[in-house]
Chain A
């Protein structure tokens, strides 16, 4: 019977095991003095940190991410957030304001040379303007609420007190999280509608060489430009590429830990904050030249139409191509209207 055979084997197996254990263990007992180091193989904190930069293990909690025991990178994050970031942001924003003020003192408002013709041509259609202003409004809300996370506690909190500042910051946080979708949509539409007019062409090198005519106080330098001049193209690419970087890193933060671990979350913040403050500086310059800095510029995005003489001065090649297409009255007609 198999059962009986097994029954007989068990005591034999136990006896053999005990003999074996004694044989193996006996010399160990003989050799080991008290206080031997049972931790000789033990994991060592410093060694783990040196090798892996962080310490991870297993937890019995459902939240397996809690198995991350130590991530000293948190100190680097703090160093960026409280050390580098306020300086990068402060220098970028006050720097651009200072430069624009200097430029205004040097050049003043850039006037249109030719008198108004009275003939208006369409520069931006309704969809273009809607997209621009939706993105612009969203960006201003995002910029203010975003800067609140860097400078709020330094500038605003001492003025309004901790409680009011906390309440404002909660609303600022929600505004930032939800308005961001309008910004992301705007960036996508802008990319699709304006990318063809913003590709580099052969006139860009010349435009850059003469600095776009910005520094000619006589106002005679008007390098030829298509629908968008090189400066505008640079703004476009800064907004689109910066906007994409902000959107991607922002989505990482809107869904914390959904796509990455803690170090990825830290990197997302480094990217988001740095690109954010730089883009704010770029947009301040854009707002300046689109309003105070240049006569006739605001009209283009405000009403959507510009005076044909303004257009000829700033976007000669675009006017010529529009005339060729028959989209606007030919030059002779416009001149006749004068």
Chain B
């Protein structure tokens, strides 16, 4: 089994937000919830960079650790998923997540956030693969169909990479060697406690 990871090559990201749109469309994500977002650092200044960010599917995920009802689980592909049946919408995972990945359908006063929603690496949830109920709760299950996450698949500059961590790291390494520069694998140190040495 592969160890699935995301990698955003910030030197290629053009902030087109197509990954965000593709994700919303593929999973029919409700208004107000963004499983993926593009953040631009130093916007309009020299050296500006954009990074597409979603759940990084951390090694030893902090969200899973702090969940008071243990609704998270990690698949054989190391994708971090959760059960919306068990989730109580307490919001702890959002406080623990280094990447702001968990999303809630409501603003959340008086503990009324609703069930948490986040990037599933296009692997949906604990219900049976590719069922209607699974789609309604978690969105499409592309992994079960042998496909990779749509955000990365349709990235126009191939900035966003998704797949086996070793393979995408090798692709990124090759790129950096060839073009002579690279601003690194954003979030990898925090999420996976490792980075790509080039």
Q: How large is the interface on B (under 10, 10 to 19, 20 to 34, 35 or more residues)?
A: 35 or more
Q: Is A82's CB within 8 Å of the partner chain B? A: yes
Q: Is A108's CB within 8 Å of the partner chain B? A: no
Q: Would you call B184 and A46 a contact (CB within 8 A)?
A: yes
Q: Would you call A67 and B98 a contact (CB within 8 A)?
A: no
Q: Is B197's CB within 8 Å of the partner chain A? A: no
A30: min CB distance to chain B, Å = 19
A18: min CB distance to chain B, Å = 24
Contact partner of A68 (CB less than 8 A), chosen from B95, B100, B182, B186, is: B100
Name which of A34-42, A234-242, A314-322 contacts chain B: A34-42
Closest residue of chain A to B107 (Cβ to Cβ) is A256
Q: Is A274's CB within 8 Å of the partner chain B? A: no
Q: Is A153's CB within 8 Å of the partner chain B? A: yes
Q: Chain B at the A interface: mostly helix, strand, loop or mixed?
A: loop
Contact partner of A70 (CB less than 8 A), chosen from B38, B70, B107, B190, is: B190
Q: Would you call A60 and B17 a contact (CB within 8 A)?
A: yes
B17: min CB distance to chain A, Å = 6
Closest residue of chain A to B46 (Cβ to Cβ) is A41
Q: Would you call B179 and A149 a contact (CB within 8 A)?
A: no
Q: Would you call A82 and B37 a contact (CB within 8 A)?
A: no
Q: Is B30's CB within 8 Å of the partner chain A? A: no
B130: min CB distance to chain A, Å = 24
Q: A35-B179, A169-B88, A173-B90 in contact; A43/B37 too (CB < 8 A)? A: no
Q: Is B125's CB within 8 Å of the partner chain A? A: no
The 20 listed contacts between A and B (C-beta, < 8 Å) are A36-B180, A39-B182, A41-B47, A48-B41, A58-B43, A59-B37, A59-B39, A60-B17, A69-B53, A78-B96, A81-B66, A153-B69, A162-B71, A163-B86, A165-B69, A178-B110, A254-B110, A255-B109, A262-B94, A265-B95
Binding site for A on B (CB under 8 A): 10-11, 17, 32, 34, 37-43, 46-51, 53, 62, 65-71, 85-92, 94-100, 107-111, 113, 179-184, 186-187, 189-190
8 shortest interchain CB distances as A-B pairs: A41-B47, A35-B180, A57-B41, A78-B62, A57-B39, A74-B98, A166-B86, A69-B39
Binding site for B on A (CB under 8 A): 35-39, 41-46, 48, 55-61, 63, 65-75, 77-78, 81-82, 148-150, 152-153, 157, 162-163, 165-166, 169-170, 173-174, 176-178, 254-256, 258, 262, 265-266, 269
Not counting A74-B62, A169-B68, A256-B108, a sample of 10 additional A-B residue pairs whose C-beta atoms are within 8 angstroms of each other reads A35-B179, A42-B49, A57-B42, A58-B40, A77-B62, A162-B86, A166-B69, A177-B110, A254-B111, A265-B95
